[in-house]
């Protein structure tokens, strides 16, 4: 199936229901222009992009004929973890429309002969291989090395980018972005293990993910109320002080991998006159924001408050989660409603919480 790919940024927010009511009215017209390969940019892409702009930034799409009578419209987060929940909710709210198939996140390609060509190079199951790297200290991590037969120093950038593009489409958006922990693309001469055909990668990842879920699905942290918290003080290069309040018992917990998703939430405040530290009303507001956040995200829902760092005009809150969907939505809403401070956040996978090694006894 050939897809027309069209990505656009968007700005404001409206309801999913409003979007689908609008889409239903245009569905027949859109269907005809895609099926007949008409002026789809003017008739379909432009109005669709404009309406998606009214829902959430970071929602993209691909479209093409699923069969002779059905148009498939795939909504994508373009690999951005924080936006996947919004793509999934959008498709969940979709009504049944004759002649249309709506899909959340780019699915895996089922065609064994699937290939991509970019900048004169081909990426397929004939010239791509992989092997898994195993670290006994981090046994649950999925660390892959991928090999392309044509990679050399002159084309390294092109081949690396093309390989990632192939994997995103071959594995599907979810598996590529959320299941693999580390991935490195190298030449055959740099390989350190026996090469495995890339067509076996899907089954390998399914096995590893199933094994991981079975191992940690029922692992929860249950004694947060009695935890010890340690206060750390560090002098920064500009002579400001950084204070960190960390849940020490949580950092020493052996079940960290059960909550592999880390949220790093940064809130910027004015503190130039107090050595970069919040004082008075600013400190109270920052504490209230964190309290409100944790009222909505509970440990029994799989969200753990690891601790926070404060200094240099930034309060950083660290959360660990079993799943990133609900937390990403709550944190996004908090950011959108923020008026007093500037806020940003990042989501990434760190099964062993290496981010906090500086606060552990081993360090």
7 pLDDT more than 50: no
Token couple for 1: 């199936």
What pLDDT does residue 127 have?
95
Residue whose token pair is 């709506």: 102
Contact 121, 150 (CB under 8 A): yes
Could you tell me whether strands 71-76 and 100-104 are parallel, antiparallel, or unpaired per DSSP bridges? Answer: parallel
- DSSP states of 125-161 as a string? TTTEEEEEE--TTSTT--EEEEEETT--TTTHHHHHH
Share of the chain above pLDDT 70, in %: 95
Residue 141: name the closest of 183, 186, 201, 84 by CA: 183
Whether the pLDDT of residue 309 is over 80: the answer is: yes
For 92, list phi and psi in degrees, rounded to 5.
Answer: -60, -30
38 pLDDT tier (thresholds 50, 70, 90): confident
Residue 185: burial class (beta carbons within 10 Å; 0-12, 13-18, 19+): buried
**DSSP, residue by residue, 268-322:** E---GGGTT---HHHHHHHHHHHHHHHHHS-GGGTEEEEEEEEETTEEEEEEEES
First and final C-alpha spacing in the chain:
52
Burial (CB count within 10 angstroms: exposed 0-12, middle 13-18, buried 19+), residue 173: buried
Look at residue 192 in the predicted model and tell me its pLDDT: 96
> Domain coordinates of the chain in residue numbers?
4-104, 115-216, 224-359
Give yes or no for residue 47 having a pLDDT over 80.
Answer: yes
Q: What is the mean pLDDT of residues 280-295?
A: 94
Q: Is 197 helix (H, G, I), strand (E, B) or coil?
A: strand
| pLDDT at residue 5 is higher than 80 | no
Q: What percent of the chain has pLDDT over 90?
A: 80
* pLDDT of the residue at 6: 39
Cβ atoms of 76 and 60 closer than 8 Å? yes
The CATH fold of domain 224-359: Alpha-Beta Plaits (3.30.70)
| pTM for the predicted model, two decimal places | 0.89
- Per-residue pLDDT for 12 more than 70? no
How confident is residue 33, by pLDDT bands cut at 50, 70 and 90?
A: very high
The pLDDT tens digits for 154-174 are 999 999 999 999 999 999 999
Nearest to 152 by CA among 115, 189, 126: 189
Structure confidence at residue 215 as a pLDDT band (50, 70, 90):
very high
Closest CA to 261 of 174, 319, 343, 175: 319
Predicted confidence (pLDDT) at residue 97 exceeds the cutoff of 50: yes
Distance CA 292, CA 335 (A): 13
E-strand stretches of the chain = 4-6, 60-65, 71-76, 100-104, 115-118, 121-124, 128-133, 143-148, 182-186, 196-197, 229-235, 241-247, 261-268, 303-311, 314-321, 342-349
Query: What's the mean pLDDT in 130-154?
Result: 96
How far apart (Å, rounded) are the C-alpha atoms in residues 357 and 363? 6
SS3 of residue 202 by DSSP: helix
């Amino acid at each position: 199936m050939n897809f027309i790919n069209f990505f656009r940024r968007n700005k404001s927010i409206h309801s999913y229901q409003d979007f689908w009511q609008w889409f239903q009215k245009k569905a027949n017209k859109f269907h005809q222009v895609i099926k007949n390969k008409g002026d789809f940019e003017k008739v379909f892409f432009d109005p669709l992009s404009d309406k998606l702009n009214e829902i959430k930034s970071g929602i993209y799409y691909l479209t093409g004929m699923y069969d002779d009578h059905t148009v498939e419209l795939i909504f994508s987060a373009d690999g951005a973890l924080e936006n996947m929940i919004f793509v999934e909710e959008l498709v969940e709210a979709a009504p049944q429309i004759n002649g249309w198939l709506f899909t959340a996140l780019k699915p895996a390609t089922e065609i064994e002969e699937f290939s991509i060509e970019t900048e004169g190079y081909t990426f397929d199951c004939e010239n791509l291989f992989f092997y898994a790297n195993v670290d006994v200290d981090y046994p649950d991590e999925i660390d892959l090395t991928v090999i392309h037969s044509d990679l050399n120093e002159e084309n390294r950038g092109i081949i690396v980018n093309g390989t990632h593009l192939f994997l995103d489409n071959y594995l599907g958006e979810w598996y590529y972005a959320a299941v693999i922990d580390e991935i490195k693309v190298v030449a055959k001469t740099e390989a350190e293990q026996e090469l495995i055909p890339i067509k076996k990668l899907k089954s390998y990842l399914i096995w590893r993910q199933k094994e991981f879920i079975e191992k940690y699905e029922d692992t929860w942290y249950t004694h947060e109320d009695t935890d010890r918290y340690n206060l750390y003080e560090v002098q920064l290069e500009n002579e400001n002080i950084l204070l960190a309040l960390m849940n020490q018992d949580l950092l020493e917990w052996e079940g960290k991998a059960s909550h592999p998703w880390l949220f790093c939430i940064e809130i910027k405040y004015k503190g130039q006159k107090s050595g970069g530290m919040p004082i008075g009303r600013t400190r109270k507001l920052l504490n209230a924001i964190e309290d409100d956040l944790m009222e909505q995200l509970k440990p029994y829902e799989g969200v753990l408050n690891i601790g926070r760092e404060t200094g240099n005009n930034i309060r950083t809150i660290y959360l660990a989660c079993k799943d990133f969907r609900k937390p990403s939505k709550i944190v996004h809403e908090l950011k959108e409603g923020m008026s007093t401070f500037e806020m940003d956040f990042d989501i990434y996978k760190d099964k062993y919480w290496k981010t906090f090694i500086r606060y552990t006894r081993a360090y």
